Homo-oligomer: A and B are copies of this chain.
Amino acid sequence: MKIAVLGTGMVGQALAARLDELGHDVIVGTRDPEAARTRDESFFAAHPGVGLASFADAALAAEVVLNATNGAASLAVLDAARDGLGGKVLVDVANPLDVSAGMPPTLTVKDTDSLGEQIQRAHPDARVVKSLNTLTAGLMTHPGALGRDSSVFVSGDDAQAKEVVSGLLREFGHTDVIDLGDITTARGTEMWLPLWLRLWGALGTPEFNLHIVR
């Protein structure tokens, strides 16, 4: 598939590298492509098949768009990519974390709204699926590294879009994809972050995931 990954941070690079390795046609979207090519030279040298473009051009070129930007910037980034999002599967991987008051961060929306819903409202023609925001980048893309089954989630209003995303998750190696329901269930996975952050503190590593045992 032709997939745009918006964001060149740790999450964006992990997703782009893995999708490229799996044979997808990957283009990374960023604010300033030339600056990114210089700054992330070693990444693009290691992944010559991965393209680089503006947020708008990357989204326009893709069938599936992944939002891997910082949660605080996501709405502005997606607004810049607006023309490329209509009808597309838009996977929101970001979390609405507020780091301004120190660590651990709090959430800017919770309980009565979510970043996933904000994105769906801002882009009613996009088919938003919240997913992969519940674990660290390395395990998003290589869950098998844990050596045991663990769970990931999809939330969204479009059943077919959730099927597309679930297929990509299985390509990554995820063995337990739980469909939570419509996009409002993104509140659940975003509000998992406060426990995830404290587990990181207690365990001394972000290399863990939850498995829903039932």
Interface residues of chain A, those whose CB is within 8 Å of chain B, are 106-107, 110-112, 146, 148-150, 178-181, 185, 187-189, 191-199, 201-203, 205, 207-214
Q: Determine if B207 and A214 form an interchain contact, defined as CB atoms under 8 angstroms apart.
A: yes
Q: Determine if A202 and B179 form an interchain contact, defined as CB atoms under 8 angstroms apart.
A: yes
* Nearest chain B residue, comparing its CB with the CB of A186: B198
In the bound complex, what is the Cα–Cα distance between A212 and B148 (angstroms)? 11
Q: How many copies of the chain does the oligomer comprise?
A: 2
What's the nearest-Cβ distance from chain B to residue A189, in Å?
6
Q: Determine if A181 and B208 form an interchain contact, defined as CB atoms under 8 angstroms apart.
A: no
Q: Determine if A213 and B209 form an interchain contact, defined as CB atoms under 8 angstroms apart.
A: yes
Q: Chain A at the B interface: mostly helix, strand, loop or mixed?
A: mixed
* Nearest chain B residue, comparing its CB with the CB of A210: B210
What's the nearest-Cβ distance from chain B to residue A115, in Å?
14
Q: Determine if B194 and A187 form an interchain contact, defined as CB atoms under 8 angstroms apart.
A: yes
25 contacts between A and B (CB under 8 A): A107-B111, A110-B110, A110-B191, A110-B194, A146-B213, A149-B213, A180-B201, A181-B198, A185-B198, A185-B201, A187-B198, A188-B194, A188-B196, A188-B197, A188-B198, A188-B199, A189-B195, A191-B194, A191-B195, A192-B192, A203-B212, A207-B214, A209-B212, A210-B212, A211-B213
CB < 8 Å: which of B150, B180, B202, B211 contacts A178? Answer: B202
* Nearest chain B residue, comparing its CB with the CB of A151: B210
Q: Determine if A213 and B210 form an interchain contact, defined as CB atoms under 8 angstroms apart.
A: yes
In the bound complex, what is the Cα–Cα distance between A173 and B212 (angstroms)? 18
In the bound complex, what is the Cα–Cα distance between A137 and B176 (angstroms)? 25
Contacts of A213 in B (CB 8 A): 146, 148-150, 208-211
In the bound complex, what is the Cα–Cα distance between A107 and B193 (angstroms)? 15
